[in-house]
A and B are shown apart, each in its own frame.
Chain A
């Protein structure tokens, strides 16, 4: 908790106010509370101060002031993160990109856009729509998450199956480093001499610097799009279908699975035409030239028939397609109908292991007596087991955490990984050793230190540390979260 009576604190507020204006320096407790948590709501920590700068120069000034005062620095975009990336685990200064949310320039010949980091993902694609261009990375959070946040986490989303994840779509960035210096890394002239620093900055979860401007790649809208809903009476058939589609070399634009109760909950929310009585559905979207769509349609029909899909529906128009996607992307919220609290996991397995891991998930749910719904990016093996519970239930948090860990470990054992898109943040720091040796972590720490020798940039994230990392109110620790007040 910030010691607001200390003279150092007063000095910090003053210095920051001089740099960016009093109005944009938040220090009142009721203001700071809003920045204690992110979308995961499992790890919470109060910042000392929140600042909302408007320009790269102002961000740099804030970083300089915070670093000089020995304060950790944590960037925050939409606050939708699911691994605690924007939670100020060690306190410090949260730098919000809320006032840096513009599209600066669109070049429709180069198919690029220069944008500010606080720009909301869907706002970008809406802006570029008149040129028949869009920004391909489409995480489910896209209505609220920002491009800067997408870059920090190397976000995925359903369409990254065909179009790649965020790192393939960032061409240049202006970055404020830990000492307040400003650097511009530009790959628009590709393969420039020097190491690919942008390649490590994207996905660095705010630990290497703060991105204050980006040049992103825009994709041309495809000639045609076709969206299917494949309906199954058993989960195994649905996951076998996913594996078969990929195995046969059909790479859809998106291939999502919803199963069990999740389907009915989603349908109640959006009325898109999801069946209320299916065990599993696949939302399959293909795009491209008309002939490619025709060829892929034939293959998908064949595979779904082979695995005895009950029905294969096609979205009749753009309206219905939008509803189907709204259902999928709003699934997390829809599942609030079932229970007031949740924990969403994020693991990856090879597509060939999908059926096996879903069976294991079911076993784990039964054994730990936790409700688990699966709504996820089946096409790239990126699971999102959604654990639903009421935290007032006796021992449920321990059981949910145990269940979640069991599934994640199984992903690793199946040849997968501990995070497909949500990031490591605070949540998975200690699981990094399931994947990485001490030498691997040494290499990462060494690299991080090259960018930030004093460790002020988003400390306590991504890499396990020996030192204590602040007094985080963590639901993982047990009942502490309840003391912070109920949340929905």
Chain B
């Protein structure tokens, strides 16, 4: 186990270590993807957790990838700022880990994906070079956006060492409702009503368990604007109940925790306009699963005790345009069919990690 204190140290470690490397933050999402190589040298990134450049008046920040996102949010809150990013375990995972896992949550509806907030990065290649991509200011087209390639890449293209983000002001008001529904399709329809004018929600998520189906809606912004939307929503949906930001966190974290006995986690991506056609198939194939559906983004996380018929799911998605990834659980075809441009991806992997040191065997490109 190595624990670099600086990026230079990290680069040295990468250069001087032969054999597979396993960069790790809080370790909360390491279980995603193919199994780790048994002889991996773990590189604990958590000492690279400093704020190296924070300009509150510019709403930009540069931090070590080993910083825990919750700690970052707490530092930003002092200046009434935040990074609009939620995900399972977002308060306790490291920024590098979350980026490498490609995790995001329902705030994506209003705020966009972490990709849209990421301004630049320093990463370390498999041969120990420190590479800069992007910059620290909110507009920058100098050079390729190489930093985007590392999102979701499970650390296979480089070790994310330091990242720069643009920030948002904390909203004046932040209110949420849950609306119970009898079916996912119905919840989906309500979600779209609440997406359209006069509404402008920050987040929408359908929570569907074997016991209940709830649409979660979150509004942020000027207090009077939030109040108006909440009131109209109540008027149209008398069964709506208020809920809190803390409840969102609990919602996102809970299916993930082992205590709930979820051994399987699938990620389903589907163009939003095709979701209604997908729901019946998904429910039939996994009747006892818990779903977290982002109906306007086009993502479903499926949590189950046992592996459903993934092949049947993939077949259902074939005509609709989408994919299934087995994030957690055993499946010989975890990633589905090879992506169309896998040849280019493999070449890039080989160029930046010629000895295949970085998380070998864990990602789709192998």
Question: Which of B36-44, B64-72, B146-154, B284-292 lines the interface with chain A?
Answer: B146-154
Q: Mark B120-143, 1 if CB is under 8 A from A, else 0.
A: 000001000111110111111111
Question: Which of B179-187, B204-212, B236-244, B340-348 lines the interface with chain A?
Answer: B340-348
Q: A303 contacts which chain B residues (CB < 8 A)?
A: none
The answer to the question of B4 belonging to the interface, with a C-beta cut-off of 8 Å to chain A, is: no
The answer to the question of A189 belonging to the interface, with a C-beta cut-off of 8 Å to chain B, is: yes
| A193-B325, A199-B148, A417-B140 known; A289+B348 contact, CB < 8 A | no
CB contacts under 8 Å to A, within B145-185, are 145-146, 148-149, 151-153, 157, 168-170, 172
The answer to the question of A275 belonging to the interface, with a C-beta cut-off of 8 Å to chain B, is: no
Q: Is the CB of B225 within 8 A of A292?
A: yes
A203 to B272, CA, bound (A): 26
Contact of B144 among A107, A168, A444 (CB under 8 A): A444
Q: Is the CB of A249 within 8 A of B271?
A: no
The interface on chain B, measured as residues whose beta carbon lies within 8 A of the other chain's beta carbons, has a size of 83
The answer to the question of B73 belonging to the interface, with a C-beta cut-off of 8 Å to chain A, is: no
Question: Which of B23-31, B54-62, B89-97 lines the interface with chain A?
Answer: B54-62
The interface on chain A, measured as residues whose beta carbon lies within 8 A of the other chain's beta carbons, has a size of 84
Q: A199 contacts which chain B residues (CB < 8 A)?
A: 115, 145, 148-149, 151
Q: Is the CB of B139 within 8 A of A348?
A: yes
A358 to chain B, nearest CB (A): 16
Contact of B339 among A168, A192, A352 (CB under 8 A): A192
The answer to the question of B200 belonging to the interface, with a C-beta cut-off of 8 Å to chain A, is: yes
Q: Mark A397-424, 1 if CB is under 8 A from B, else 0.
A: 0000000000000000001111111111
Q: Select the residue from B125, B143, B151, B323 with max chain A CB neighbours within 10 A.
A: B143
A395 to B123, CA, bound (A): 44
Closest to B81 in A: A249
Q: Is the CB of A246 within 8 A of B137?
A: no
Q: Is the CB of A443 within 8 A of B58?
A: no
Q: Is the CB of B131 within 8 A of A195?
A: no
A108 to B3, CA, bound (A): 50
Contact of B228 among A191, A250, A291 (CB under 8 A): A291
A228 to B144, CA, bound (A): 36
Q: Is the CB of B344 within 8 A of A450?
A: yes
Q: Is the CB of A292 within 8 A of B323?
A: no
The answer to the question of A115 belonging to the interface, with a C-beta cut-off of 8 Å to chain B, is: no
Q: Is the CB of A439 within 8 A of B131?
A: yes
The answer to the question of A6 belonging to the interface, with a C-beta cut-off of 8 Å to chain B, is: no
B360 to chain A, nearest CB (A): 16
The answer to the question of B198 belonging to the interface, with a C-beta cut-off of 8 Å to chain A, is: yes
The answer to the question of B260 belonging to the interface, with a C-beta cut-off of 8 Å to chain A, is: no
Q: Is the CB of B57 within 8 A of A110?
A: no
Contact of A195 among B153, B200, B229, B298 (CB under 8 A): B153
- With A294-B222, A351-B59, A381-B137 already in contact, 5 other A-B pairs whose C-beta atoms are closer than 8 Å: A156-B141, A203-B145, A289-B198, A417-B139, A443-B125
> Which 5 interchain pairs have the tightest Cβ spacing?
A249-B169, A199-B148, A194-B339, A291-B224, A247-B57
